Amino acid sequence: MEISIDNKDLDDDGRIKRTGTLMTASAHIFTTVIGSGVLSLAWVVAQLGWIAGPVVLILFAVITWFTSVLLADCYRSPDPVTGKRNYTYMDAVKANLGGIMIQLCGLAQYGSFIGATIGYTITASISMAAVQMSNCFHKNGHHAKCDASHYPFMIIFACIQIILSQIPNFHKLSWLSIIAAIMSFSYSLIGIGLSVAKVAEKNHNVRTSLRGVEVGLDVTATEKMWRVFQAIGDTAFAYTFAPVLVEIQASQVLFS
């Protein structure tokens, strides 16, 4: 049975009229920019120090801003105002590049998606294991032997992702993005609250350093090197906005 669609329900490009608003666009952007990765940024600065830490944060912010500007200009092509709309990242790549660059950019985007998915799966499972250990310590005391494996949580979280990914028209669940945006701000508030509580804690000498964690009795030079690499990786994990910018633009009315 064919369903007829009135012309008034179609956009100027023949597709079903977009319904996104400034609120939904902001919710999508907040959700993508402010993810659970922000919770590790305090640890990142602690490892890199007060010089390299902010420099790395600013560097990744500039890279994200620059790539976002490039993608925003590629939303329409060949002219950024009157050109044909590109609805996905790969559409923008195909319209503006050619040859092997299409394969390379596609590989980079899907690699970014896969890496972010793996990162969120690992982060969620480690967090749940930490909650389980925390409950064990509160119940049995801090001297109790509390071990929790994050592998079962990793499997559970991955299965939930697979099930949710089967929902049709998942991109139309605007209320879900609003809830996720609220959670994203909660991540930031939690991180700030824990940091303030740690500084204000009685009988606790909070030590900071311009060079981050010092190599000494507790940290070897090798561990310091791996912590620096992990800190840079955590920072990159917290900046996962640009790959979905074109998709956000394509769903909003305000991007004509």
Q: What is the pLDDT of residues 133-163, one digit of tens each?
A: 888 888 888 787 888 888 888 999 888 888 8
CB of 239 closer than 8 Å to CB of 60: yes
Q: What is the pLDDT of residues 59-116, one digit of tens each?
A: 988 888 887 787 777 777 777 777 788 877 777 777 777 667 777 877 877 787 787 7
- What residues make up the domain containing 175? 16-183+203-250
The verdict on residue 63 lying in a domain is: yes
The verdict on residue 5 lying in a domain is: no
The verdict on residue 10 lying in a domain is: no
The verdict on residue 35 lying in a domain is: yes
3-state DSSP assignment of residue 252: strand
- Rounded to two decimals, what is the model's pTM? 0.70
In the numeric block, which tokens belong to residue 147?
Answer: 């071990």
Mean pLDDT of the chain: 78
Q: Specify the number of domains making up the chain.
A: 1
Q: What share of the chain is helix, strand, coil (3-state, %, to 5)?
A: 70, 5, 30
The verdict on residue 131 lying in a domain is: yes
The verdict on residue 137 lying in a domain is: yes
CB of 152 closer than 8 Å to CB of 124: no
The verdict on residue 188 lying in a domain is: no
What percent of the chain stands above pLDDT 70? 84
What was the pLDDT predicted at 2? Answer: 45
What was the pLDDT predicted at 3? Answer: 47
The verdict on residue 115 lying in a domain is: yes
What was the pLDDT predicted at 12? Answer: 65
Per-residue confidence band for 202, with pLDDT thresholds at 50, 70 and 90? low
